[in-house]
């Protein structure tokens, strides 16, 4: 069969598959935590919808709010959240047996304004020198920011850094870096990468870094169990991996 004929045949198969999928299309309610997940799920959502024919209604909430909603019986078909939140729901018996899995992870990194020299953060000592040399240091009040406060304490420079800190709330740390409010910014790599005007220098050295994991889980009372399983499987697929790696995420280890 010639290449043109093969492509035509493939197109026909894909069209029939899409049509068949649309006949049984469902709408599922997906809830995800913040951090890098709004950006990541914003990419994966249309990919899944296009290939499956299903519709994803996505909401972003803090982990405590998600846990509260599940306990109160809210209509949720799939949860994508930090490992701790999913583990807590599993422990309480609120996640369907065998439906939870670790899917991706992020590290804490450092970014600078695009065009600025990239400082050395290759070792803990180099990172310490870079932080001390910076005029201002931006970090969040979230998971990465709370972790960063333990890093500067470990490096023995907590007082010096807090004196010139730009603590960012309600927006990415990268936004403060891009605007010049902070000379360097520390946040999850996957939160720094999407911000225009910011260049990622790299992840912090492993001896002073933290891997932040994300999992999926299907509530035991999910109404669209099969579709939720399909989306969970898609999130762990090579196609999804290729997409979220571009956003600074890594596959779960």
Residue 245: give its domain's CATH number: 3.40.190.10
Residues 75-117 pLDDT 10s = 999 999 999 999 999 999 999 999 999 999 999 999 999 999 9
Clarify whether residues 70 and 111 are in a common domain: no
58 and 111 fall within a common domain: no
Indicate whether 157 and 126 sit together in one domain.
yes
- pLDDT score, position 1: 45
Same structural domain for residues 117 and 207? Answer: yes
Q: Are residues 171 and 140 in the same domain?
A: yes
156 and 225 housed in the same domain: no
Same domain, 111 and 206: yes
What's the structural domain count of the chain? 2
**Is 159 in the same domain as 177?**
yes
Position 83 scores a pLDDT of: 95
pLDDT tens-digit map of 145-191: 999 999 999 999 999 999 999 999 989 999 999 999 999 999 999 99
187 and 233, same domain (yes or no): no
Task: Please report which residue ranges of the chain form alpha helices under DSSP H.
Answer: 3-23, 37-52, 63-71, 83-91, 124-133, 143-154, 158-162, 173-179, 189-192, 225-235, 238-245
Q: Which structural domain range is residue 79 located in?
A: 3-100+218-251
Global confidence as pTM: 0.82
Residue 38 tokens, joined:
């709004």
């Amino acid at each position: 069969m010639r290449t043109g004929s093969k492509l035509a045949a493939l197109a026909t198969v894909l069209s029939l598959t899409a049509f068949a999928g649309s006949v049984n299309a469902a709408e599922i309610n997906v809830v995800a935590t913040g951090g890098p997940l709004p950006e990541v799920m914003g990419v994966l959502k249309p990919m899944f919808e296009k290939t499956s024919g299903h519709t994803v209604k996505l909401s972003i909430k803090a982990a405590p709010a998600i846990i509260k909603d599940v306990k109160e019986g809210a209509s949720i078909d799939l949860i994508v959240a930090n490992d701790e939140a999913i583990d807590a729901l599993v422990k309480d018996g609120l996640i369907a047996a065998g439906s939870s899995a670790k899917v991706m992870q992020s590290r804490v990194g450092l970014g600078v304004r695009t065009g600025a020299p990239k400082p050395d953060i290759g070792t803990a000592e180099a990172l310490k020198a870079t932080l001390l040399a910076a005029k201002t240091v931006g970090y969040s009040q979230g998971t990465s920011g709370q972790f960063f406060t333990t890093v500067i304490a470990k490096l023995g420079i907590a007082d010096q850094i807090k004196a010139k800190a730009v603590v960012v709330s309600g927006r990415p740390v990268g936004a403060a870096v891009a605007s010049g409010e902070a000379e360097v910014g520390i946040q999850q790599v996957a939160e720094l990468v999407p911000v225009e005007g910011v260049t990622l220098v790299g992840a912090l050295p492993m001896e002073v870094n933290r891997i932040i994991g994300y999992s999926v889980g299907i509530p035991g009372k999910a109404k669209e169990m099969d579709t939720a399983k399909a989306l969970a499987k898609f999130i762990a697929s090579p196609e999804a991996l290729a997409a979220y790696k571009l956003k600074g995420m890594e596959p779960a280890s």
